[in-house]
């Protein structure tokens, strides 16, 4: 257990250390002696528990202690890690208004026991032993939680202690004793996993698509699910959001979507084995997305605005010279058909069943966009996704990338030509050929923000789009 103690009185710190150092498993204690060092520690690290004196100096070594500085630490906790339990030492003269501020934060099930735990507790310093007892009890509960093993399917899955904690908090209320986790190929920096909870006999208790990230980053995913996914798409075409864990895991949040057992393979895995089966899945996808694509709006869009949504100027600027006169090109305005789009429809965000069914996962980019966005992303993911089985194929050459819009020339040597044709036909049918270049350009230059992307291919496809649009 990692504990932050924000306290300027060293005799209090010493007593806490002496009482806590003997605990098993051990407690790692971080000391901050003021408002500024406490806030710095909160911003730079994640903790299981926070103990803070209400009366603090503004800076280490200061003597002008004030309740305002403890309240500032409390406000920072509520802002960046509101799911982390806190204990505040208060004085006998603390006003009711201050006590009410400290008591904000509510309760959460931070230990997976289905019991609500107060996010902020208040103690006077003469109740020092109560503080120790609560820390000892919390440490013991975490030790029980850690008995739930998390088994990783490959070295590609790298989980830290709070990622693992998220999965353990999923499994404990279900009676799980182990969790099998496998990567689903996310690119955003979030953990995108399939998690299977099992009991002590190895029987599966539930299968989940799991997304773990900073709370601030998952906010949009949660909002998109409730705005665009669950009210608009048909049940069975997406996994239902079953649990949202936002306490007990540092600055993070974890979303768990219930997966039916039959959705065991990604579209990339299907494509690697059978191109025809993958083409059939694309046809299923078009039906799944129909409730979005049938509601259309005509808009005049500037290419620069489209590109800015995918890669901002600070990242894109170094590549402008390679592509030529992008400033002039990006000022072009074009009439385009828009609809709700998934926005990240790569081959790992489509899960498939043996019977040919499919479900969509990962909703962080869902929203209005040009109507050909999804098929273009799907086609380009074959080339650019970091875990695509075809990424290191010699096709396409740099010359072929420049010929992206000349399909027959482009497909020479392609390992999955009919799949590419299916995606291209989908894109053309939704927006017409004139609607493709701005989106193709945008999605090609988007690849430039990934250091391991094949940038020569991305430049070639982007230049092809620029020539077609003018």
Across the chain, mean pLDDT equals 92
> What does the pLDDT read at residue 108?
93
Task: Report helix, strand or coil for 42.
Answer: helix
Per-residue pLDDT tens digits for 28-47: 999 999 999 999 999 999 99
pLDDT of residue 62 exceeding 80, the answer is: yes
Count of residues making up the chain: 470
DSSP label at 127?
G
pLDDT of residue 99 exceeding 90, the answer is: no
* Section 207-230 average pLDDT: 95
pLDDT of residue 194 exceeding 80, the answer is: yes
> What does the pLDDT read at residue 408?
96
Lowest mean pLDDT among 83-97, 141-155, 207-221, 275-289: 83-97
Lowest mean pLDDT among 5-9, 154-158, 414-418: 154-158
Distances (CA, A) of 244 to 62, 110, 275: 41, 12, 36
> What does the pLDDT read at residue 470?
64
Confidence of residue 135 (pLDDT cuts 50, 70, 90): very high
> What does the pLDDT read at residue 353?
94
> What does the pLDDT read at residue 184?
81
The pTM of this model reads: 0.89
* Section 121-150 average pLDDT: 91
> What does the pLDDT read at residue 327?
86
Residues β-bridged to residue 86: 50, 120
> What does the pLDDT read at residue 241?
97
DSSP label at 56?
B
| Domain assignments of the chain as residue spans, ordered by start | 2-145, 149-259, 265-469
Confidence of residue 155 (pLDDT cuts 50, 70, 90): low
The secondary structure of 141-174 as a DSSP string is HHHHHTTSEEEESSTT----HHHHHHHHHHHGGG
Residues in contact with 183: Cβ distance below 8 Å, sequence separation at least 6, in sequence order: 153, 154, 156, 157, 192, 193, 387
* Section 447-455 average pLDDT: 90
> What does the pLDDT read at residue 124?
86
- Residue 178 backbone phi and psi in degrees, to 5: -150, 155
The whole-angstrom separation of Cα 344 and Cα 362 is: 8
Residues in contact with 353: Cβ distance below 8 Å, sequence separation at least 6, in sequence order: 260, 262, 263, 264
Residue where the block lists tokens 């009991």: 199
Confidence of residue 148 (pLDDT cuts 50, 70, 90): very high
Q: In the CATH hierarchy, which fold is given to the domain comprising 149-259?
A: Phosphorylase Kinase; domain 1 (3.30.200)
The whole-angstrom separation of Cα 465 and Cα 238 is: 33
Angle, CA of 111, 189 and 150, to the nearest 5° = 40
Two structure tokens written together for 302: 């500037």
pLDDT of residue 187 exceeding 60, the answer is: no
pLDDT of residue 188 exceeding 70, the answer is: no
pLDDT of residue 26 exceeding 60, the answer is: yes
- Contact by Cβ (8 Å): 172, 218: no
* Section 400-427 average pLDDT: 97
Structural Rg of the chain based on CA atoms: 26
Residues in contact with 89: Cβ distance below 8 Å, sequence separation at least 6, in sequence order: 7, 12, 51, 52, 53, 54, 123, 124, 125, 131
pLDDT of residue 233 exceeding 70, the answer is: yes
Lowest mean pLDDT among 70-79, 315-324, 350-359, 460-469: 315-324
Confidence of residue 242 (pLDDT cuts 50, 70, 90): very high
State yes or no: cis peptide before 10, omega within 30 of 0.
Answer: no
Distances (CA, A) of 185 to 63, 78, 120, 268, 291: 52, 32, 37, 10, 26
Would strands 297-302 and 333-341 be described as parallel, antiparallel, or unpaired?
antiparallel
pLDDT of residue 20 exceeding 90, the answer is: no
pLDDT of residue 100 exceeding 80, the answer is: no
* Section 320-334 average pLDDT: 87
Taking domain 265-469, whether its CATH number is 3.40.30 is answered by no
> What does the pLDDT read at residue 56?
95
pLDDT of residue 106 exceeding 90, the answer is: no
> What does the pLDDT read at residue 280?
97
CATH class for the domain made up of 2-145: alpha beta
> What does the pLDDT read at residue 320?
84
Confidence of residue 322 (pLDDT cuts 50, 70, 90): confident
> What does the pLDDT read at residue 55?
92
The whole-angstrom separation of Cα 194 and Cα 210 is: 6
Per-residue pLDDT tens digits for 397-413: 999 999 999 999 999 99
């Amino acid at each position: 257990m990692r504990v932050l103690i924000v306290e300027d009185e060293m005799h209090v710190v010493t007593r806490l250390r002496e009482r806590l150092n003997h605990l098993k498993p051990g407690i790692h204690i971080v000391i901050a002696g003021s408002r500024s060092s406490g806030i710095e520690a909160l911003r730079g690290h994640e903790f299981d528990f926070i103990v803070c004196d209400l009366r603090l100096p503004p800076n280490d070594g200061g003597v002008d202690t004030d309740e305002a500085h403890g309240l500032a630490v409390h406000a920072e906790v509520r802002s960046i890690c509101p799911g982390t339990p806190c204990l505040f030492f208060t004085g006998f003269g603390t006003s009711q208004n201050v006590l009410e501020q400290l008591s904000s934060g509510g309760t959460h099930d931070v230990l997976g026991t289905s019991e609500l735990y107060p996010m902020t507790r208040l103690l006077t310093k003469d109740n020092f032993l109560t503080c120790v007892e609560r820390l000892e009890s919390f440490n013991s509960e975490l030790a029980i939680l850690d008995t739930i093993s998390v088994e990783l399917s490959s070295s590609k899955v790298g989980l830290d202690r709070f990622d693992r904690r998220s999965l353990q908090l999923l499994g404990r209320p279900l009676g799980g004793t182990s969790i099998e986790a496998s990567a689903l190929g996310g690119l955003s920096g979030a953990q995108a996993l399939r998690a299977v909870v099992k009991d002590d006999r190895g029987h599966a208790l539930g299968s989940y698509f799991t997304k773990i990230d900073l709370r601030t980053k998952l906010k949009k995913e949660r909002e998109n699910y409730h705005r665009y996914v669950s009210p608009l798409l048909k049940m069975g075409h997406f996994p239902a959001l079953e649990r949202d864990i936002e306490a007990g895991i540092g600055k993070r949040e974890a979303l768990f979507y219930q997966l039916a057992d039959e959705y065991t393979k990604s579209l990339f895995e299907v494509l690697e084995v059978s191109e025809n089966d993958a083409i059939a899945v694309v046809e299923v996808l078009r039906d799944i997305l129909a409730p979005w694509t049938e509601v259309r709006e005509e808009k005049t869009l500037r290419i620069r605005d489209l590109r800015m949504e995918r890669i901002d100027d600070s990242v894109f600027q170094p590549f402008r010279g390679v592509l030529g006169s992008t400033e002039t090109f990006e000022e072009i305005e074009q009439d385009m058909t828009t609809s709700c789009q998934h926005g990240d429809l790569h081959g790992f965000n489509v899960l498939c069943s043996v019977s040919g069914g499919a479900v969509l996962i990962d909703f962080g980019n869902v929203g209005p966009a040009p109507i050909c966005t999804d098929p273009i992303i799907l086609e380009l993911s074959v080339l650019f996704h970091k875990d695509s089985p075809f990424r290191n194929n010699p096709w396409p050459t740099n010359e072929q990338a420049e010929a992206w819009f000349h399909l027959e020339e482009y497909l020479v040597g392609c390992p999955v030509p009919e799949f590419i044709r299916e995606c291209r036909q989908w894109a053309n049918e939704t927006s017409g050929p004139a609607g493709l270049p701005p989106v193709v350009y945008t999605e090609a230059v988007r690849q430039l923000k990934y250091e391991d992307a094949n940038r020569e291919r991305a430049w070639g496809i982007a230049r092809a789009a620029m020539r077609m649009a003018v």
